[in-house]
Chains A and B, each alone.
Chain A
Amino acid sequence: AQSVSQHNHHVILSEAASLELGCNYSYGGTVNLFWYVQYPGQHLQLLLKYFSGDPLVKGIKGFEAEFIKSKFSFNLRKPSVQWSDTAEYFCAVNPRDSWGKLQFGAGTQVVVTP
């Protein structure tokens, strides 16, 4: 069965620390990959996406993610977090033969302390 695994459910770190959230998926075919973010009290929104090309993609607010095909991974990184990065982060996979379907991971709650 297809699945998306996020390694950490909760992460607490201080401002200026570096952040890396792991995401692995199990799917044998070609996929599109996404990270979504949900800030407190707000709707889910797209952070960044990977379809093809350069496996290192940059998103909004200084986030980036690297697709490593051999590891079926799409880890999210930010070199220096801010208090405003406190949110829940979801990794999502869209198999290209399943147009419209997004399969999400369980999410990682990130808390950045001042």
Chain B
Amino acid sequence: GAGVSQSPSNKVTEKGKDVELRCDPISGHTALYWYRQSLGQGLEFLIYFQGNSAPDKSGLPSDRFSAERTGGSVSTLTIQRTQQEDSAVYLCASSPPLGGVETQYFGPGTRLLVL
């Protein structure tokens, strides 16, 4: 079956522009996670959605970052007024109902470059 998909796979933007990154989780998965991997660093947790509950936004680095999950499925991560330090690979993961944190299936990521 289809895995987690993300689009675009690569995005180059200019400093100050807004970008939207999309994640399509595996069908039926209720939990969705966003992570960021900056050069030479590990994956950094950003935000977590579980069903209809309020998302855990504790990992978002600034108020320029926001994420939505529409209809309990597709999620969009928006970065406003991008900065060069936002350059990173943004990974999305999803997990099934009753699945624990270890059942996260990761997407291929979106590589963002801010010039």
Residues of A within 8 A of B (CB): 4, 6, 9, 32, 34, 43-46, 49, 90, 92, 94, 99-107
Interface size class of B (residues with CB under 8 A): 20 to 34
Spell out B's residues near A (CB within 8 Å): 3-4, 31, 33, 35, 40-45, 48, 50, 56, 58-59, 91, 93, 100-102, 104-108
- Closest CB-CB distance, B51 to chain A, in whole Å? 11
Partner of A100, one of B4, B31, B43: B31
A49 — nearest CB in chain B belongs to which residue?
B102
Please pick, from B42, B50, B105, B107, the residue contacting A104 in the complex, using a CB distance under 8 A: B42
A45: chain B residues within 8 A (beta carbon) = 106
CA distance A44 to B94 in the complex (A): 12
Could you tell me if A100 and B42 are in contact, using CB atoms closer than 8 angstroms? Answer: no
Docked complex Cα distance between A15 and B40 (Å): 26
Contact B3 A106 (CB under 8 A): no
Contact of A94 among B93, B101, B105, B108 (CB under 8 A): B101
CB-CB nearest in chain A for B3: A43
Q: Which residues of B contact A106 (CB under 8 A)?
A: 40-42
With A4-B42, A90-B42, A106-B42 known as contacts, the answer to whether A46 contacts B102 (CB < 8 A) is yes
